[in-house]
Amino acid sequence: MSFPSGKHFLQIPGPTNVPDRILRAMAQPTIDHRGPDFARLGFEVLEGLQDVFKTRSKIVVFPASGTGAWEAALVNTLSPGDRVLMFETGHFATLWREMATRLGLDVLFVPGDWRHAADPELLESALREDRGGRIKGVMVVHNETSTGAASSISNIRQAIDRVGHGALLFADTISSLASMDYRHDEWGVDVTVAGSQKGLMLPPGLSFNAISEKAQKASNSSAFPKSYWDWQPMLAANKTGFFPYTPATNLLYGLRESLCMLREEGLDNVFARHNRHAEATRRAVRAWGLEILCLDPSQYSSSLTAVLPPPGNNADALRKVILERFNMSLGSGLGKLQGKVFRIGHLGDFNDLMLAGTLSGVEMGLTLAGVPHCPGGVTAALDYLASL
């Protein structure tokens, strides 16, 4: 490819394609974040977010990547030395564990094979053994972006309730919010962590904590030192529509537009669209004769699919061919999956023909990179898309 004409295909599982409507909304003059017009924007996004998280509780917005919201969730609710339980679902769960360890939390890490979601039965037995109530928090990555396996947060909640354990429940929805069904209140989540650059279709730079009343109470006795991430000044300023320090004003313009788009489409339709594109993608992968990394069909992610090329074929070499020939970025294998998988992002602002283009690029790339496969993946996906 000598000159990259046409649009780049950004088919990584975040950041996702930012719709023109959002780009235009962000291209407005920055306003005084302490002036009278700002509060309207502040209230509008803080209220609008509640529908997306499905909560009546408070949501705080940080000018930060998702990693910042991970840290905020931990340092506002817990204290150094607290024991927490996390599941090794993949790379992101491992990174969150590393952060918790560095902060001085005592992490019980339930081992996993990076091909399955978090197991509620293992959680239940771990909590039953915790007779002294030492475990203060349970952290689950809802949609493990490195593997394409999604955990059932409602089953996790039920496991905690069966034991009657008092631990706080934390869910990372960075790659599932506004792409896959999620219910902060109904599922009894105490802190939901999210980011702007995936299902919300925004550029990177905003992240979120949705906070239950129980989590707010826990924050009163949390002994972690904190300043930038402290919920209290945030919640206090948010009462009048403002922020304690300069917010990312233009990203908030984009967020207002994103919330508008999600309302127009309807969240249930957004989820159905993601389910449909995920199923079409899996049909393509199966027709190629390639393996889907996630082993349990009930755990398939609707925002991305991680694919294993046959042994001896480097996934990064394939991704390189696809980028150079077709100007399309696919997700790389992360952590111990480096070079072993490629990930097709099908979340955010996306439609049938974008998926058709994406899968066509993969199918041609497989041929060009000499990866053994059967033809017909694109056809299988198109047949499915045309059938409903």
Ligand X SMILES: *Cc1c(COP(=O)(O)O)cnc(C)c1O
Q: Under the rule (CB under 6 A), what is the footprint of ligand X?
A: 14, 65-67, 92, 141, 145, 172, 174-175, 195, 204
Is the CB of 177 or the CB of 318 nearer to ligand X? 177
Is the CB of 15 or the CB of 365 nearer to ligand X? 15
Is the CB of 141 or the CB of 252 nearer to ligand X? 141
Nearest distance in Å: CB 179, ligand X: 11
Nearest distance in Å: CB 63, ligand X: 12
Nearest distance in Å: CB 350, ligand X: 16
Contact between residue 180 and residue 54 where contact means Cβ atoms under 8 Å apart: no
- Bridge-based pairing state of the strands 291-292 and 83-87: unpaired
Q: What is the DSSP letter of 300?
A: B
Distance of CA 11 to the CA centre of its chain: 15
Is the CB of 14 or the CB of 254 nearer to ligand X? 14
Nearest distance in Å: CB 115, ligand X: 16
Q: Nearest residue by C-beta to ligand X?
A: 66
Is the CB of 14 or the CB of 333 nearer to ligand X? 14
Is the CB of 19 or the CB of 66 nearer to ligand X? 66
- CA–CA separation, 44 and 150 (whole Å): 30
Is the CB of 31 or the CB of 99 nearer to ligand X? 99
Contact between residue 270 and residue 179 where contact means Cβ atoms under 8 Å apart: yes
E strands, the chain, where? 9-11, 58-62, 83-87, 106-110, 135-141, 143-144, 149-150, 168-172, 191-195, 207-211, 291-292, 304-308, 328-330, 342-345
Which residue has tokens 């919300």? 200
Nearest distance in Å: CB 99, ligand X: 10
Nearest distance in Å: CB 203, ligand X: 11
Contact between residue 175 and residue 364 where contact means Cβ atoms under 8 Å apart: no
Nearest distance in Å: CB 93, ligand X: 8
Instruction: Give the sign of the dihedral formed by CA 152, CA 179, CA 269, CA 264.
Output: positive
Sheet of 191-195, strand order: 58-62, 207-211, 191-195, 168-172, 135-141, 83-87, 106-110
